[in-house]
Chains A and B, each alone.
Chain A
Amino acid sequence: MRIALFATCIVDAMYPRVALATVRVLERLGHEVVFPPGQGCCSQMHVNSGYLADALPVVRNHVKAFTAADYDVAVAPSGSCVASLGHQQPMVARAGGDEELAAAAEAVAGNTYELSQLLTDVLGVTDAAAQLGSWFPHTVTYHPSCHGMRLLRLGDRQKDLVASVAGVELVELPDAEECCGFGGTFSFKNPDVSAAMAEEKIGNIEATGAELCTGGDASCLMHLGGAMARRGTGVGTVHFAEILASTRRNPLEVSGPVELSIPRRPARPSSSVPTQTAGGPR
Chain B
Amino acid sequence: MSRTALGMPAVRPVHGHGRLHTAVPFPEAAEAELGNTQMRANIRHATHTIRGKRARVVEELPDWEELRSAGSAIKEQVMAHLPELLEQFEANVTARGGTVHWARDAEEANRIITGLVQATGSTDVIKIKSMATQEIALDDHLEAHGITATETDLAELIVQLGHDRPSHILVPAIHKNRHEIRDIFLEQMPETDESLTAEPRDLAEAARKHLREKFLSTSVAISGANFGVAETGTLTVVESEGNGRMCLTLPETLITVMGIEKIVPTFEDLEVFLQLLPRSSTGERMNPYTSMWTGVTPGDGPQDVHVVLLDNGRSAVLSDPKGRSALHCIRCSACLNVCPVYEQAGGHAYGSTYPGPIGAILSPQLTGITSEQNASLPYASSLCGACYDVCPVKINIPEILVHLRDEDVRTQHGERSDDGAAAAPARTRRTPKAPSQMDLLMKGASFVMSSGRRMALAEKGLPLGRVVAGKDRAISWLPGVVGGWTDERDIPAPPRESFRNWWAGHAGETDQRLAADGAAGPADVPHDRPGDAQPVDAPHDRPEEDR
Contact = CB atoms under 8 A, between A and B. Distances in A.
Interface of A: 7, 9, 11-17, 19-20, 23-24, 27-30, 32, 34-41, 43, 45-55, 57-58, 60-61, 65, 88, 95, 131-134, 146-147, 150-151, 177-179, 181-198, 200, 222-223, 225-227, 229-230, 245, 247-250, 261-264, 266-267, 276-282
A190 B384 contact: no
Interface stretch (B197-205, B226-234, B245-253, B374-382): B374-382
Contacts of A11: 499
20 contacts: A12-B498, A17-B546, A24-B517, A27-B510, A27-B513, A50-B405, A50-B408, A51-B406, A60-B450, A147-B385, A150-B388, A150-B389, A181-B382, A183-B383, A190-B30, A222-B492, A249-B516, A261-B492, A264-B474, A278-B535
Contact of B494 (A13, A28, A190, A276): A13
Nearest to B376: A189
A60 B343 CA distance: 38
Given A191-B485, A247-B518, A38 B452 contact: yes
A282 B546 contact: yes
A247 B520 CA distance: 8
B537 interface: yes
A133 B543 contact: no
B11 to A, nearest CB: 26
Given A35-B503, A197-B340, A198-B489, A263 B494 contact: no
B506 interface: yes
A27 B380 CA distance: 42
Given A13-B462, A179-B386, A61 B492 contact: no
A168 to B, nearest CB: 15
B473 interface: yes
Contact of B34 (A13, A16, A36, A192): A192
Contacts of A182: 382
Interface of B: 26-27, 30-31, 34, 340-341, 343-345, 378-386, 388-389, 402, 404-410, 438, 442-443, 445-455, 459, 462, 472-474, 476, 481-482, 484-485, 487-492, 494-500, 502-503, 506-507, 510, 512-522, 524-526, 535-539, 541-544, 546-547
Nearest to B529: A30
A272 to B, nearest CB: 16
B512 A278 contact: yes
Contact of A197 (B341, B404, B408, B543): B341
Contacts of A50: 378, 402, 404-409
A131 B80 CA distance: 55
Given A28-B519, A45-B445, A191-B488, A282 B382 contact: no
Given A146-B382, A151-B385, A193-B30, A230 B476 contact: yes
B455 A28 contact: no
B379 A190 contact: yes
A134 B444 CA distance: 40
Contacts of A183: 381-384
Given A133-B520, A192-B30, A262-B473, A198 B488 contact: yes
A280 B539 contact: yes
A186 B383 contact: yes
Given A7-B499, A7-B500, A247-B518, A39 B491 contact: no
A196 B32 CA distance: 13
A271 to B, nearest CB: 17
Nearest to A248: B518
B547 to A, nearest CB: 4
B450 A40 contact: yes
B296 to A, nearest CB: 48
A18 to B, nearest CB: 8
Contacts of B409: 49-52
B382 A250 contact: no
A222 B485 CA distance: 11
Given A41-B449, A58-B449, A264-B474, A28 B525 contact: yes
Q: Enumerate the 4 nearest inter-chain pairs by beta-carbon distance, A residue then B residue, closest first.
A: A133-B520, A183-B382, A191-B484, A50-B405
A76 B160 CA distance: 53
Contact of A49 (B382, B442, B485, B519): B442
A131 B522 contact: yes
B338 to A, nearest CB: 9
B382 A30 contact: no
B507 A35 contact: yes
Contact of A187 (B31, B388, B485, B522): B485
B509 to A, nearest CB: 8
Contacts of B445: 41, 45-46, 54
A106 to B, nearest CB: 17
B31 A192 contact: yes
A228 B241 CA distance: 46
A179 to B, nearest CB: 4
Nearest to B506: A280
A54 to B, nearest CB: 4
Nearest to B44: A200
Given A187-B485, A227-B489, 8 more contacts: A13-B498, A16-B497, A16-B499, A48-B402, A49-B409, A196-B345, A261-B492, A281-B543
B446 A55 contact: yes
B340 A181 contact: yes
A188 B513 contact: no
A178 B342 CA distance: 12
A179 B343 CA distance: 11
B492 A40 contact: no
